Amino acid sequence: MEKLIEILEEINDGVDYETCTTLIDDHHLDSLAIISLVAEIEDEFDVQIPTVEIVPANFNSAKALWNLIVRLQEEG
């Protein structure tokens, strides 16, 4: 999860990713940031994020993102 926080901070360092649960809802991540984030996550964690998974529920918090990454890794 630490590496995920680092990636998020590179994209937008003005957010407390440990506690924020409204990254999409409060526009901390816009569409371009999400595209960058998806690419970084896919490279760093060796997962493929399907388009159907790019929904606010999966991107509103670092914890939700981490759960998505773990699930995708387990599904292999």
**Sign of dihedral through CA atoms 51, 45, 37, 14?**
positive
pLDDT (tens, 9 = 90+) of the chain, 76 residues, equals 999 999 999 999 999 999 999 999 999 999 999 999 999 999 999 999 999 999 999 999 999 999 999 999 999 8
Indicate the class that CATH gives domain 2-10+18-75. mainly alpha
Residue type, 64: A
CB 22 within 8 A of CB 60: yes
Residue 69 and residue 38: Cα distance in Å, rounded?
A: 10
Ranges of each domain in the chain: 2-10+18-75
